[in-house]
Amino acid sequence: MSTDASKLVLVRHGQSEWNATNQFTGWYDCDLTKQGVEEALNGGRLLNEAGISPDVIFTSLQKRAIRTADIVLNEINSQEMPVHRSWRLNERHYGDLTGKNKDAVRKEFGDDQFHAWRRGYNTPPPPISQENPFNPNNDPQYAGLTDIPLTECLADVVARLVPYWETDIFPSLGGEKTVLVVAHGNSLRALCKYLDSISEDEIPDLNIPTGIPLVYELDKTGKPIKTLPVLHRLLS
């Protein structure tokens, strides 16, 4: 790796309780499983072995990302690093699919609709209802938000994340700093799409593994120094 470049490290949270039960999670605030804790520990070990220590950390407001970040930071002895949290790094909001079993949704609506809702770039699921017992919009931590979504497609995640990248994350990379972002499958896919100029047709096929750091080396404009497939940036 270059020694004169800024580094952006992306880590998807470890396996969550609803990952394990195959439920649409989105903004629902579930915790890590034991496997998820081990994946976070492994992510920290990989950063240690690569000699990568962040100067600042960004996470979502969701427990599974915050806990993953805490575990990684403890593993690399960087507990005192500044941590910034924002809903703009939250997982994609799955609307009224929140809490539903993915296999059951596929069976009820068919493969095409299932894939459009789960992976389609411009197709949001139905908006979440107040009757949904897992409605995360009632969480007090979102009480101050005026633009809280009721559902999202990946295009919506890109639209809310890129401004946060421009105003908060990217400026933190100045002076050859290393920034760690611990977030979610879709918020990280959105950021990778932006950084690597991935097309709308290609981005549905990107699946970021849990707990394994992705490392970008960026120039002063925030562009990747090397053009690589996203998963070729994984530490191993």
158-202 confidence digits (pLDDT tens): 999 999 999 999 999 988 899 999 999 999 999 999 999 999 999
Spatial contact of 28 and 99, defined as CB atoms under 8 Å apart: yes
pLDDT higher than 80, residue 3: no
DSSP reduced 3-state for 59: strand
User: Nearest-CA neighbor of 58 among 229, 208, 213, 183?
Assistant: 183
Phi first, then psi: what are they for 182, rounded to 5°? Answer: -110, 115
C-alpha dihedral (23, 138, 31, 115), degrees to nearest 10? 30
64 part of a folded domain: yes
Q: Which amino acid is at 89?
A: L
pLDDT of residue 84: 96
pLDDT band at 98 (very low <50, low <70, confident <90, very high): very high
State the average pLDDT over residues 19-42.
97
Residue 222 φ/ψ region, left for φ over 0, alpha for ψ in the -120 to 50 degree band, beta for the rest: left
**pLDDT of 4:** 65
pLDDT in the model for residue 31: 97
The whole-chain average pLDDT of the chain stands at 94
**Average pLDDT estimate for 190-215:** 96
For residue 202, indicate whether it is catalytic.
Answer: no
**Structural domains in the chain (count):** 1
Residue pair 72/178 in contact by the 8 Å Cβ criterion: no
Q: Using the predicted structure, report yes or no on whether residue 129 has a pLDDT greater than 70.
A: yes
Catalytic residue among 75, 91, 93, 184, which?
91
Q: Is residue 232 part of a domain?
A: no
Is residue 167 in a domain? yes
Neighbours of 196 (CB within 10 A): 18
Does pLDDT of 224 surpass 70? yes
* 72 in a structural domain: yes
DSSP for residue 140: G
Q: Please report, as a single letter, which amino acid is at residue 139.
A: D
Residue 35 tokens read as 């496997």
Query: Global pTM?
Result: 0.95
Structure confidence at residue 146 as a pLDDT band (50, 70, 90): confident
Q: Is the pLDDT of residue 1 over 70?
A: no
- Domain presence at residue 235: no
Of the pLDDT bands very low, low, confident and very high (cuts 50, 70, 90), residue 132 is very high
Q: Give tens-digit pLDDT for 11-24.
A: 999 999 999 999 99
- Is residue 218 in a domain? yes
On whether residue 231 sits in a domain, the answer given is no
Any domain includes 174: yes
Residues 132, 99: contact at Cβ < 8 Å?
Answer: yes
The CATH number given to whatever domain includes residue 144 is 3.40.50.1240
The 10s digit of each residue's pLDDT in 43-88 is 999 999 999 999 999 999 999 999 999 999 999 987 778 899 999 9
Structural domain of 181: 6-226
Identified catalytic residue from 13, 75, 93, 152 = 13
Determine phi and psi for 189, rounding to 5 degrees: -60, -40
**pLDDT > 90: what percent of the chain?**
86
Q: Sorting pLDDT into bands at 50, 70 and 90, what band is 213?
A: very high
